[in-house]
Structure 1
Amino acid sequence: MKTAENYALLVARVLMALIFVASGASKISGFEGTLGYIASKGVPFPALAAIGAIIVEVGGGLMLMVGWKARWAALAMMLFTFAAAFIFHDFWNAGADAAQNQMIHFMKNISMAGGLLFAVVHGSGKFSVERQS
């Protein structure tokens, strides 16, 4: 693989991971609000779901960033993001005032899942802890 491609994979991993690490950190700092939002969507065991989300977002995000077990991290994050799109951004059930915003978030999640699938398929590249070529 060319050096430029390896740098591109590094930058792509970091850019994809940033939103997850930031989101997970905000779930930690606003844990009560996170619990309330998860519970409002009817998710069972909201505290457990919130802890799981934090682990996937912060843990998976950091793993993807540094390129350690990046394919597994990206797979977990992809499945999480896909599920979150349908559970938390169900624009088809939103009122007219919120439908457009929820559709944008839904499509963002689906697009991010596609980017994570790319990481699952192509791995982390040479500039990573695992140094995949």
Structure 2
Amino acid sequence: MIKSLQNPLSLAGRLLFALLFLPAGISKLTGFAGTVGYITSVGLPAPQLAAAFALSLEIIGGLALVLGAGTRVAALALALFTLVASFFFHNYWAVPEAQQFVQQLMFFKNIAVVGGLLSVAAWGAGAWSVDALRKA
């Protein structure tokens, strides 16, 4: 029975990951100045370039997951991006105690997302994908 669910579950997983990244990328695009300000507030260099990179990766990577096109590369890129961003934007160890719980929760949520993306990178998009059509 589980084998028969592999393709729909793979598609559902990719779509759910895309729901995390596509809206985030689009909101960075539509609120570019705010995104640059937020990146500036954590002290990262070249905040405009970082914002453009982040929104591009989230939108392109999210679309790649939806389509199942270049899925392994997209999942790896999004995993690395999420891991690095977690250390800069959810550094619970460096915030006041009153903020630590939420930031720690967000940090470990992101670490779990990285784990899921690594699974997608390892196993691929499944049969219901552009990747599978290209193989056939």
TM-score band (shorter)? over 0.9
2:70 counterpart letter in structure 1 = K
1:15 counterpart letter in structure 2 = L
Segments of 5+ residues of structure 2 without an aligned counterpart are: none
1:53-111: CA deviation from partner (whole Å, max 9, x where unpaired): 01111100110111000000000000000001101100000112211111111011100
Name the structure 1 match of 2:70: 69
Name the structure 1 match of 2:104: 103
1:19 is aligned to 2:17? no
Q: Distance in 2 between matches of 1:3 and 1:57?
A: 31
**Please, what TM-score do these two structures have when normalized by structure 1?**
0.95
1:6 counterpart letter in structure 2 = N
**Please, what TM-score do these two structures have when normalized by structure 2?**
0.93
1:84 is aligned to 2:58? no
Q: Distance in 2 between matches of 1:66 and 1:35?
A: 29
Q: Distance in 1 between matches of 2:31 and 2:108?
A: 25
Q: Distance in 2 between matches of 1:57 and 1:78?
A: 11
Q: Distance in 2 between matches of 1:4 and 1:92?
A: 40
The structure where helix makes up a greater share of residues is 2
Segments of 5+ residues of structure 1 without an aligned counterpart are: none
Identity percentage of aligned residues: 44
Structure 1 residue ranges (4+ consecutive) displaced by more than 4 angstroms after TM superposition: none
Q: Distance in 2 between matches of 1:99 and 1:28?
A: 29
Q: Distance in 1 between matches of 2:128 and 2:12?
A: 10
Name the structure 2 match of 1:45: 46
Q: CA deviation at 1:3?
A: 3.8
Name the structure 1 match of 2:125: 124
Q: Distance in 2 between matches of 1:99 and 1:130?
A: 41
1:123 counterpart letter in structure 2 = G
What is the SS of the residue equivalent to 1:130? helix
